[in-house]
Amino acid sequence: MSAVEDARERGRELAAALAADGVAGLIIAWADNNGIPRSRTVPVAALPQVAVSGVGVTTLFSVFDTNDAITFAAPGLQTPSGDLRLVPQLDRVTRLAGQPAFAWAPGKQVTADGDPWAFDQRSVLERTVARLDEAGYSALVGYEMEFGVFEQPQDVEDDALVRAHPGPAYSPHALLLIDDFVAAVMRDAAANGLRLGQVHAEYGPAQVELSLAATDPVTAADQQLLARQTVLAAAEAHGLRVSFAPLPTQAGAGNGWHVHTSLWRGGENLLAGTAEGPRGTAGGAYIAGLLRDLPAVAAVTAPSLGSLARIRPGFFAGAFAFWGVENREAPLRYVPGSALLGEDHANLELKVSDASANPYLALAAVLSAGMAGVEENLAPPAPIAEDPGTWKKKERAAAGIEKLPASQAEQEEALSASPRVTAALGEETLGAFLAVRRADAAWGQELETEEVLAAWRWRY
């Protein structure tokens, strides 16, 4: 059977199975360069055709900024002309437990002829994973997702933030007020094929966190999008409103989407080690590679004006470039294995990461920076156990610790200066990504931080 016939046949089977289950539509979703999920929904009866040729979307989605304004400032995307096909990934079709009339699948953007589209973010990560594979490596990725939970207002225009739980932080009592919602998230996540590690009332007011079990990078990015859909549907059903924004309001806690990665070769976790750090040189080199490119990586993993507002010293969000062992203030926190947890538990957590990152681009940046460290056999500096934010400026300078980029211009400079991260994104995607960052920054220039945060509170 040809690939086209095969896809049509699978589309037919899925259409029949979904229709028999009472499913009306398939949501085909992707994340844009602002980390905002976008989608097209097709009737399930159209699946035999959509599985083959996708659904038409504009080329300009790559240059939508966070406000849905289109910037025509990226090379290759300067006119309103052009059309792409958004093709659902059939092996990822999931019936949504919280929206039983819908199924969900991540989409890939290809040209009208079915050729790869240089601006497609999922393909960027697929290429990174293929490069790792060719070199004999693989990676595991697990996300933590923090979010604020608020009461749904009577009037959608009403933006008053009524906290859905009063704390105390980490208290089981805090979650009592929203236990139907939490139960729905847990049940629906399991039904949607998401493996939750845990759920808890987080530190900030009305904040909740869930974690997803580690998996391969593309699946981790797909699942991070599916988890958002799952949580939002449960919130809607329970009269609640969820903010995934990096910083919903300056008065509250930031929502970090910390990402845990480990690099493997021949079934061995190269990050395996102890409280001293990774045992082998490759694990240390992975950390050193990420540390070298951290300003550029952060420009992709925490790229928005909201991200920049979130990254404040002393908030466990990682404001200075350094690494530490189990250091909660470090943007790179090494998590060793232990006798209890086993060697394979070891990983590196990146804290400068949030919902405004496109997860595919973010993981491509992280893995490429770490992998380059391994290829060049870099050695990391000694880990730091303290919070350098509490040190004097000259103590930080003596230790070679710098602040991470704190403005869009600084982020762009850092990104442009990293040949490894720019190569991972590719010229076209990088151009579009920078264009929307500049558009966002120009829009935010005259606004107070709180106004920016309010405008983007519900966008992710």
Instruction: Candidates 54, 254, 359, 373: give the one binding ligand GLU (CB under 6 A).
Output: 254
Instruction: Tell me the number of residues near ligand GLU by CB under 6 A.
Output: 11
| Candidate residues 120, 146, 188, 222; the one interacting with ligand GLU per rule CB under 6 A | 146
329 binds Mg ion (CB under 5 A): no
Nearer to ligand GLU, 288 or 311 (CB): 311
| Choices 152-160, 190-198, 252-260, 362-370 (CB under 6 A): range interacting with ligand GLU | 252-260
Q: Decide which of ligand GLU, Mg ion, none touches 106; Cβ closer than 5 to 8 Å per partner kind.
A: none
Contact of residue 329 among Mg ion, ligand GLU, none (CB under 5-8 Å per partner type): none
Q: Which of residues 331-360 bind ligand GLU (CB under 6 A)?
A: 351
- Which is closer to Mg ion, CB of 209 or CB of 412? 209
Residue 433 engages ligand GLU in binding (rule: CB under 6 A): no
Query: Measured at CB, which residue is nearest to ligand GLU?
Result: 256
328 binds, among ligand GLU, Mg ion, none (CB under 5 to 8 A by kind): ligand GLU
Taking CB under 5 A as the rule, does residue 354 contact Mg ion? no
Contact letters (x/-) for ligand GLU, 187-216, by CB under 6 A? Answer: ----------------x-------------
270 binds ligand GLU (CB under 6 A): no
Q: How far apart are CA 411 and CA 77, in angstroms?
A: 22
**Which residues sit at the interface with ligand GLU, rule CB under 6 A?**
146, 203, 253-254, 256, 310, 315-317, 328, 351
